[in-house]
Amino acid sequence: MPSLPTSLPSQHPLVDGRTASSPLVRAARGERSDTLPVWFMRQAGRSLPEYRASRAGTEMLDACLDPALASEITLQPVRRHGVDAAVFFSDIVVPVLLAGVDVRIVPGRGPVLDDPIRSAADVMALRPVDPEVFAPISEAVALTVAELGSTPLIGFGGAPYTLASYLIEGGPSREQLRARALMRTDPQTWATLLNWCADVTGAFLRAQVLAGASVVQLFDSWAGSLSRTDYQRRVAPHSRRAFDALRGLEVPRIHFGLGMGEMLDLQRGLGADVIGIDWRLPLDEANERLGGAVPLQGNLDPALLTAGEPLIARHVADVIERGSAAPAHIVNLGHGVPPDTDPGVLTRIVEIVHESGR
């Protein structure tokens, strides 16, 4: 493990309380407020014309590492939609790149490695990440929170399983066959790789919090391809380790995984304060599975974003109603904003949520 600073800078938001009474931070701590908070996964991105203008001519990973540009893109959806949080514009492979792994993002495909990491020797060659490499991230976060005022910034990182799957497969894959094979054939190399991913993504989250993020979300795109037993034994300990990198920093932690409806209790066991639910499982049912004890985030169906206002308004009302069963509710989509989404629809959803008057 690289050594990490353990104390907060005096101007840290948790010290100065900048965002502590915001609806989002309060909901993440299980408190209700007059305003029901709402934000959207991937709100900073391709659905916004101002994003496409800002990004024009810049590669994705270059944009992530340009502090002024990353900050501007992070702020755009807050300005436009009036959402209750910014989410840091980045990519789950940014810390992997900063740790020295040769990864690039192919438009329309996603993260690609020309030399995937598949053998014990490949894994042994991975080096601990030096927290100093996160300087451009810290700078972008600092620029962002200076603009955000009392609106919280959510830090963002990929869960070890999803990160490791990209590293092993060399790119996106439907069922992570190679990753799951390595899990079985060489459990020690698997554990070493997932620990490395946990440390890298943990350091990335920690850098964001130290620079001013008030909440973090760990995102597991592929966990749904696992059996419950495999997740529990071979993955969950590493996701917990990623969260543990935040020790001493008392920011609320959101865990979101796709297709994890049968693993909500395991998500809770990671040390998550909030569990994000995808569109498949109604929030009242999710709340019941969690014994009514955990604030929930979600879970508007992204497929409804093209359905026109009456249907969307009815769907939002239904999600809010079901979410009211939970100790607290952060409204969000059940997955990221699809790239071709009409941004006006997102703005309207924010209005509807805020008018819901809870």
Enzyme catalytic residues: 42, 46, 55, 91, 166
Q: What is the per-residue binding string for its own copies in 234-253, x denoting contact by CB under 8 A?
A: --------------------
Q: Is the peptide bond before 332 cis (omega within 30 degrees of 0)?
A: no
Residue 184 is a binding residue for its own copies (CB under 8 A): yes
Q: What is the 3-state secondary structure (H, E, C) of 136-149?
A: HHHHHHHHHHHHHC
Q: Does 125 bind its own copies (CB under 8 A)?
A: no
The 3-class secondary structure across 94-147, one letter per residue, is: HHHHHCCCCCEEECCCEEECCCCCCCHHHHHCCCCCCHHHHHHHHHHHHHHHHH
Q: Which residue has the tokens 């609806």?
A: 23
Give min distance, CB of 87 to its own copies, in A.
Answer: 20
Q: Would residue 347 be called left, alpha or beta, if left means φ above 0 and alpha means ψ between -120 and 50 degrees?
A: alpha
Verify binding: residue 181, its own copies, rule CB under 8 A.
yes
Task: Name the residue nearer to its own copies (CB basis): 28 or 305.
Answer: 305
Tell me how far, at minimum, the Cβ of 93 lies from its own copies, in Å: 18
Q: Could you tell me the smallest distance in angstroms from the CB atom of residue 177 to its own copies?
A: 5
Residue with Cβ nearer its own copies (29 or 178) = 178
Neighbours of 128 (CB within 10 A): 13
Distances (CA, A) of 20 to 117, 178, 214: 41, 43, 8
Asked if 185 touches its own copies (CB under 8 A), the answer is yes
The least CB distance from residue 273 to its own copies, in Å, is: 25
Give CA–CA dist 306/195, Å, rounded.
40
Q: Convert residues 270-309 into a mask of x (bound to its own copies by CB under 8 A) and - (unbound).
A: ---------xxxx------------------xxxxxxxx-
| Comparison of 106 and 311: residue with beta carbon closer to its own copies | 311
Q: Taking a C-beta distance cutoff of 8 angstroms, is the pair 199, 128 a contact?
A: yes
Inter-residue contact 304 to 311 (CB < 8 Å): yes
The only residue of 227, 247, 291, 293 in contact with its own copies, by rule CB under 8 A: 227
Output the smallest distance, CB 81 to its own copies, in A.
20
DSSP codes of every residue in 227-271: -HHHIIIIIHHHHHHHHHTTTT----EEEEETT-TT-HHHHHTTT
Nearer to its own copies, 199 or 278 (CB): 278
The Cβ of residue 18 has, within 10 Å, a number of other Cβ atoms equal to 20
Q: Return d(Cα 269, Cα 291) in angstroms, integer.
A: 13
314's CB contacts (< 8 A; 6+ apart) are none
Of 225, 132, 233, 249, nearest in space to 177 by CA: 225
- Taking CB under 8 A as the criterion, the residue among 18, 42, 180, 322 binding its own copies is 180
CB of 229 to its own copies, least distance (A): 8
Is 269 annotated as belonging to a binding site? no
Q: Quick one: tokens of 269?
A: 């066991």
Rank residues 65 and 168 by Cβ distance to its own copies and give the closer one. Answer: 168
Residue 322 contacts its own copies per CB under 8 A: no
Nearer to its own copies, 179 or 209 (CB): 179
Residue 89 and residue 43 in contact, taking contact as beta carbons nearer than 8 Å: no
119 binds its own copies (CB under 8 A): no
Q: Does 176 bind its own copies (CB under 8 A)?
A: yes
348 marked as binding residue: no
* Interface region with its own copies, contact rule CB under 8 A, candidates 2-10, 173-181, 238-246, 265-273: 173-181
Answer yes or no: is 90 a known binding residue.
no
Q: Which residues bind its own copies (CB under 8 A)?
A: 175-181, 183-185, 224-229, 259, 261-262, 279-282, 301-308, 311, 335, 338
